[in-house]
Copies of this chain bind each other. A is one copy, B any other.
Amino acid sequence: MELLVRYGTEEQKARWLIPLLQGKARSCFAMTEPQVASSDATNIESSIREEDGFYIISGHKWWITGILDPRCQLCVFMGKTDPHAPRHQQQSMFLVPMDTPGIKIIRPLTVYGLEDAPGGHGEVLFEQVRVPKENMVLGPGRGFEILLGQLGSGRIHHCMRLIGCSERVLALMKARAKSRVAFGKPLIEQGTVLADIALSRVEIEQTRLLVLKAAHVMDVAGNKVGALDIAMIKMVAPSMASRVIDRAIQVFGAAGLSSDHPLAQFFVGVRVLRLADQVHQRSVAKMELKHRS
């Protein structure tokens, strides 16, 4: 939606913004592909060719979050319009209405067996999907540019949710540790449980402050200046939340893994976000070396 606000044409906005804002329509974003390492977005291979004033989109995508939701009416698609252009100008982005012929949903994907997030993640074939030229966003070869422009706020949003989730998990862990006894004393008096509580508090707090700083830098100085801070929060927040949840599961015992408590579902949601850790680590190092010498 934010993508539309920032990069959409007047027509694109007129068509989509109202239903999205009303919550009647939902959107999804098709980027990741099964055949390539999508952590490096230049690897994306879906091909898009022009024909008679239309673009014909062909590709195999997966991990499209929300595409299985019946309210999903719009898919933002990223693929190669010009494989011979310079590396970061090969990709373009398109608005693809979900009722366009040729979109075949293959299956929902699970994360450790759980459907992650409402609507889950879908694997989808795009076979000769035909969209009018005006459905391109911003312009040919500008997919990467949009991607970079969008990342900031989306990432801050993700990280803020991870912090909220971690706070709730810590509260659950403390309550459980207070109510259970093992080896003659409450878990709450066991040194290793205390250590886990302390580490969790400290890690949540440090991540919160870093996210607040990144958001502040974005607000006052924009995406580019904030790039290092944003890469940093993406590097630390998912693994932080992952550790906090894992410690809580240890305190809960097997119950923590079942669907009786929200920990398993939280863990699954965080695990997906943690996949990109190494990519962000690499970005942080590169920026640190370039800009801070």
Contacts and interface: CB of A to CB of B under 8 A. Distances in A.
Interface of A: 32, 34, 36-40, 43, 62-63, 109-115, 121, 171, 174-175, 178, 180-183, 187-188, 190-195, 197-199, 201-202, 205-207, 209-210, 213, 228, 232, 235-236, 249-250, 253-255, 257-259, 264-265, 267-268, 271-272, 274-275, 277-278, 281-282, 284-286, 288-289, 292-293
B293 A174 contact: yes
A194 B112 contact: no
A257 B37 CA distance: 15
A200 B39 CA distance: 22
18 contacts: A32-B254, A37-B181, A37-B187, A38-B253, A109-B254, A111-B112, A121-B254, A174-B288, A191-B194, A192-B281, A198-B284, A205-B210, A205-B232, A209-B210, A209-B213, A249-B271, A254-B272, A254-B275
How many copies of the shown chain assemble into the complex? 4
Contact of A207 (B115, B206, B268): B206
A191 B191 contact: yes
B40 A183 contact: yes
Contact of A258 (B109, B174, B235, B264): B109
B191 A253 contact: no
Nearest to A207: B206
Contacts of A37: 180-182, 187, 253
Contacts of A285: 194-195, 197-198, 201
A195 B198 contact: no
Contacts of A235: 198, 202
A156 to B, nearest CB: 15
Nearest to A268: B112
Of A171, A258, A272, A284, the most chain B CB neighbours within 10 A belong to: A258
Nearest to A208: B209
A189 B275 CA distance: 19
A39 B253 contact: yes
B34 A255 contact: yes
Nearest to A109: B258
Contact of A195 (B192, B254, B265): B192
Contacts of A175: 293
